[in-house]
Amino acid sequence: MNNQNNITFVQGNEACVEGAIYAGLNFFAGYPITPSTEIAEHLASRLPQKGGKFIQMEDEIASMAAIIGASLTGNKVMTATSGPGFSLKQEALGYACMAEIPCVIANVQRGGPSTGNPTHVSQGDVNQARWGTHGDHAIIALTASNHQDVFHMTVQAFNLAETYRTPVILLLDEVIGHMREKLVIPEPGELPVVERLRTSVKKGVDYHPYLPREDGRLPMSDFGGEHRYNVTGLFHDMWGFPSNDPKVVSELLRHLVDKIETNVNEIAMYKEYWLDDADYVLISYGSSARSAIHMARNRRARGVKIGVLELQTLWPFPAEMVREKCAGAKAVIVVEMNMGQVVTQVKNAVDNPHTVFLANRVDGELISPSDIKTLLRMIQGKGV
Amino acid sequence: MTKERFDFKDYIRPRFFPHMWCPGCGHGIVLSSLLRAVHELGLEKNEIVITSGIGCSSRISGYVDFHSLHTIHGRALAFATGVKLSKPSLKAIVPMGDGDALAIGGNHFIHAARRNIDITAIVMNNRIYGMTGGQFSPLSGSGKKATTAPYLTIDREFDIVDLAKSAGATFVARSTVFHAMECKDLLKKAITHKGFSVVEILTQCPTYYGRKNKEGDAIQMMEGYKNNTVKIGSKKLEDNPNLIQRGIFVEKTDVPEYCEAYDRVIQTAMKGKA
């Protein structure tokens, strides 16, 4: 149960901070960048209050590197950034994929490419979250459309990072990051928190840092503990020993991809509104989902059978779920603030890709319900 | 402090051998000096984290039986900063090549020095990118031959000691692989020093630097270290000011170490003064 003290009125970036603290964050490294800076500012204050560590590094690359180092000593770690910084972090992010090091990267999206539109909203980094670092790999990326969900998804990001030993990207956006609204902070224990899985192998017995258990999970051993092992970004065997043996290379790459892609249904989080009888399905995420939900509610009141599928997991893309939810729809409208990044995934997922349309806005302004309504009326064959 | 007679087998991972260094490479002497220093200091293997980037020198991290973190090019000090700040009880040692430390990693080098975080950076300076086949580095200096300087380099070189000093490192030393025992002693002092310590060790790359620049084989290059270097302040400098000086250039104990300073931040924050 919540008491009055748990109710706050905060920015989305603060909701992310509170979620991270709730999940057990105790090390943050970052570099100032709009519109994510408040995450660093609040953690600079909050982390040392609980004995955690905050460090402002010399650049975005160093921030990503520092959290990986701190994760290896047994800490829950995070960094926060936006477009240009997210680009800079990509090499080290791939290192965390390869070396299987749990960490969370919050990207509060702004307009790009390049310096772009720093103080305005965008959802242009969806595909970068998937393929930003070089080489084949799998990734988890989560998003949220309101502050309660930002809190929840931040906790989930840490949980998934620990469960799958992987970096998890929290794809927020400028509107969510800077908007203020109510947040009720759950009591401890109200939301599940996944702790670091540590090896039970005793001192003197061989510990294999990269030998998965039967359930696929890889127990860790903290740096400074009894087990000394090698961590590398090279392909490596179960000891962490570098290898270019074709069998070792292939098995590791398949493991890195499979551990996430085969669990797509466990990782997939979403919300649905009025989908049961929907002729028209809006698919959206992040701040644009707010406009989609608003517009659908208004149309419902006027008798239009319209519903919303709000994606909270963007990667791995929950294609099967999306196909099922769209099966009975006359038309699907993907609402996003980019030139069409999730719409491509939706077209690949559904049975009738020619019934999938894109309602987008890429001018730095939040897409509005009337922007979406205009497209709906065109699809319905009505006047705009 | 010495426990028993030094046996390198107590400190290496046989699984990782044979090593990948060329015949005549100086890096093995740096490895040996480091292990002897660790042995003489009586450090436990579990209390050391060795973090490296990419390059010939960076392979040291895999060869030693410490906690080892072999990372990405140039960023070893940033990774080590995360390790050290999150668990200050660990000894952080970072072996780096000259390109790794001062080209792609130059920013992290000066900022680690500025923070005075308790990390020992060993810059193994062979004045060339060896692993990629002999391209000039920011330590090659001008008038040198390299695969990317077929008409000789026009780039000037850094002075690692001066750079570390002005960036705020609180322990700065230089030696060469010819002076292996001196290397060991300097490394012992650097590892013991509370704060950011830099030890530059001149180490030969006969394969790519020596051959291209007609400096001879490994033995001739090591003789060069013997003949062209002197202890700090040697009288020989009066006759030949171009001789390279070896020894401890900076040893300051009055600068707060970063992790200890952060502990005071935690104390302040916990009192509600943040």
pLDDT (tens digit per residue) in B58-88? 999 999 999 999 999 999 999 999 999 999 9
Q: What is the rounded average pLDDT for all residues in chain A?
A: 97
Q: Determine whether A154 is exposed, middle or buried from the number of CB atoms within 10 Å of its CB (0-12, 13-18, 19+).
A: buried
Query: Which pLDDT band, with edges at 50, 70 and 90, does B273 fall under?
Result: low
Q: Is 3.40.50.970 the CATH number for B8-270?
A: yes
Residue A2 has pLDDT above 60, yes or no: no
Q: What is the pLDDT of residues A88-125, one digit of tens each?
A: 999 999 999 999 999 999 999 999 999 999 999 999 99
Alpha-carbon span A363 to A373, nearest angstrom: 18
Mean pLDDT of B138-160: 97
Query: Which pLDDT band, with edges at 50, 70 and 90, does A51 fall under?
Result: very high
Q: Name which of A65, A224, A233 is nearest B90 (Cβ-Cβ).
A: A224
Residue A325 has pLDDT above 70, yes or no: yes
Distances (CA, A) of A230 to A135, A209, A238, B231: 22, 8, 10, 37
Q: Omega before A369 cis (within 30°)?
A: no
Residue A343 has pLDDT above 70, yes or no: yes
Superfamily of domain A4-184: Thiamin diphosphate (ThDP)-binding fold, Pyr/PP domains (3.40.50.970)
What is the least distance, in Å, from the CA of A258 to any CA of chain B? 24
Residues 316-335 of A with CB under 8 A from B: none
Please calculate the CA angle B163-B164-B165 and round it to the nearest 5 degrees: 90
Contact A111, A124 (CB under 8 A): yes
What is the least distance, in Å, from the CA of A141 to any CA of chain B? 23
**CB–CB contact A229 B270 (8 Å):** no
pLDDT at position B75 is 98
Structure tokens at B154: 């026009």
Contacts of A234 in chain B (CB under 8 A): 70
Measured between CB atoms, does A196 come within 8 Å of chain B? no
Contacts of B266 in chain A (CB under 8 A): 48, 51
Report the candidate in A175, A191, A155 with the shortest Cα–Cα distance to residue A312.
A155
What φ, ψ does residue A314 adopt, rounded to 5°? Answer: -95, -35
Which of A207, A210, A228 should we substitute to test contact with B (largest number of B Cβ atoms within 10 Å)?
A228
Alpha-carbon span B247 to A236, nearest angstrom: 39
Q: Name which of A63, A73, A226 is nearest B87 (Cβ-Cβ).
A: A73
Q: What is the pLDDT of residues B173-199, one digit of tens each?
A: 999 999 999 999 999 999 999 999 999
Provide CATH 3.40.50.970 ranges for chain A: 4-184
Structure tokens at B70: 């072999």
Q: Name which of A69, A74, A234 is nearest B80 (Cβ-Cβ).
A: A69
**CB–CB contact B107 A58 (8 Å):** yes
Residues 61-90 of B with CB under 8 A from A: 61-62, 65-72, 75, 78-87, 89-90
**CB–CB contact B82 A45 (8 Å):** no
In chain B, what percentage of residues exceed pLDDT 70? 98
Please calculate the CA angle B170-B118-A70 and round it to the nearest 5 degrees: 150
- How many Cβ pairs within 8 Å bridge chains A and B? 135
Alpha-carbon span A197 to A200, nearest angstrom: 9
Q: What is the rounded average pLDDT for all residues in chain B?
A: 96
What is the least distance, in Å, from the CA of B240 to any CA of chain A? 40
Q: A127-144: string of b/e by CB count within 10 Å (b at 16+)?
A: bbbbebbeeebbbbbbbb
Amino acid at site A137: H
Report the candidate in A384, A362, A360, A361 with the shortest Cα–Cα distance to residue A373.
A384
Residue B274 has pLDDT above 50, yes or no: no
**CB–CB contact A72 B262 (8 Å):** no
Structure tokens at B143: 């008038």
CA B16 to chain centre: 21
Which of B65, B86, B268, B270 should we substitute to test contact with A (largest number of A Cβ atoms within 10 Å)?
B86
Contact A98, A233 (CB under 8 A): yes
For B258, name the nearest residue in chain A, comparing CA atoms only.
A55
Checking DSSP bridges between strand B67-70 and strand B48-52, what pairing results, if any? Answer: parallel
**Would the pTM count as exceeding 0.95?**
yes
What is the enclosing helix (H) or strand (E) of A126?
Answer: helix A126-131
pLDDT at position B3 is 59
DSSP letter at B146 equals B
Question: Which are the contacts of A115, defined by CB distance < 8 A and separation ≥ 6?
Answer: A84
* Range with the poorest average pLDDT among A10-14, A378-382, B255-259: A378-382
> Is the predicted ipTM greater than 0.95, yes or no?
yes
Measured between CB atoms, does B154 come within 8 Å of chain A? no
Residue B1 has pLDDT above 70, yes or no: no
Mean pLDDT of B121-150: 97
CA A199 to chain centre: 27
CA A344 to chain centre: 19
pLDDT at position A383 is 78
Residue A30 has pLDDT above 80, yes or no: yes
Beta pairing partners, B91: B48
Measured between CB atoms, does A226 come within 8 Å of chain B? yes
pLDDT at position A215 is 86
Residue B272 has pLDDT above 80, yes or no: no
Structure tokens at A23: 């999940």
Alpha-carbon span B16 to B50, nearest angstrom: 15
The Cβ-side half-sphere exposure at A205, using a 13 Å CA radius, reads 5
Residue A83 has pLDDT above 70, yes or no: yes
Contact A141, A172 (CB under 8 A): no
pLDDT at position B4 is 84
Beta pairing partners, B175: B201
What is the least distance, in Å, from the CA of B48 to any CA of chain A? 7
pLDDT at position A181 is 97
Contact A303, A88 (CB under 8 A): no
Q: Name which of B75, B83, B108 is nearest A73 (Cβ-Cβ).
A: B83
Structure tokens at A6: 């748990």
In chain A, what percentage of residues exceed pLDDT 90? 96
**CB–CB contact B89 A224 (8 Å):** yes
Mean pLDDT of A210-232: 95
For A243, name the nearest residue in chain B, comparing CA atoms only.
B16
CATH class of A270-379: alpha beta
Alpha-carbon span B149 to B135, nearest angstrom: 7
DSSP-based three-state secondary structure for A158? helix
Residue B42 has pLDDT above 60, yes or no: yes
Residues 188-227 of B with CB under 8 A from A: none
Residue A335's CB: how many other CB atoms inside 10 A?
32
Measured between CB atoms, does A92 come within 8 Å of chain B? yes
DSSP-based three-state secondary structure for A2? coil
pLDDT at position B79 is 98
Mean pLDDT of B134-155: 97
